[in-house]
A and B are shown apart, each in its own frame.
Chain A
Amino acid sequence: AQTIHQWPVAEIKAVGSPLSLGCTIKGKSSPNLYWYWQATGGTLQQLFYSITVGQVESVVQLNLSASRPKDDQFILSTEKLLLSHSGFYLCAWSLGGREQYFGPGTRLTVL
């Protein structure tokens, strides 16, 4: 069975500090991978998607970047956090079908 793991579970960071969030998918070969952001009490907004290793496409510009260094790993990062980056970050996967399956998420608080 496939599993999706996100790390860390939660982060509290200062404005201007760097950030790296990770996501690992096990049990699926060459999945499509996605990053979403959810403001507290808000809806989900797609940030990035990746069809294959080394290729990442940006959907919205939020001063964030993403990379896919391995087939089963997706990284979200920034060198300088803003207050507006606070929220819930979700990684998702699909296998070419339109349904996407979400991970448990990382709660980010920027102070």
Chain B
Amino acid sequence: GDSVTQTEGPVTLSEGTSLTVNCSYETKQYPTLFWYVQYPGEGPQLLFKVPKANEKGSSRGFEATYNKEATSFHLQKASVQESDSAVYYCALSGLSGGSNAKLTFGKGTKLSVKS
């Protein structure tokens, strides 16, 4: 089956520093890749998706490039803010069971940003 492996947390950074969360995946299908963000007590929010290899997705200053050759999709941000503190999930969607666009999530990376 599909699998996603991402940077083990927690990650603690100071405001203004850069962030990289590594994500690698395994699938026999042609996936669409996502980054989701989850704040305490809330459901995950879609940060962005990238459906095509070698394309970049971005939102709120975060970005990631779908590297099909390396099967990677690392999340980056040049300068984090305290409001970026949350849990970040890498996920992939491959069609399975007919019409089920099943999302497979990584274990999540908890980011804490200190002012």
* Majority secondary structure of chain A interface residues (helix, strand, loop or mixed): strand
Across the interface, do A102 and B102 meet the contact criterion of CB distance under 8 Å?
A: no
> Is B93's beta carbon under 8 Å from chain A?
yes
Q: Contact residue range for chain B?
A: 20 to 34
Across the interface, do A102 and B34 meet the contact criterion of CB distance under 8 Å?
A: no
Across the interface, do A57 and B97 meet the contact criterion of CB distance under 8 Å?
A: yes
14 contacts between A and B (CB under 8 A): A34-B103, A42-B108, A43-B107, A44-B89, A46-B103, A49-B102, A94-B101, A97-B101, A98-B34, A99-B46, A103-B43, A104-B43, A105-B43, A107-B41
Residues of B whose CB lies within 8 Å of any CB of A are 32, 34, 41-46, 49, 51, 89, 93, 97, 99-103, 105-108
7 tightest Cβ-Cβ pairs between the two chains A and B: A102-B43, A98-B93, A98-B32, A98-B101, A44-B105, A43-B105, A49-B100
Kindly list 4 other residue pairs between chains A and B, CB separation below 8 angstroms, not including A59-B100, A100-B46: A49-B97, A59-B97, A98-B93, A101-B46
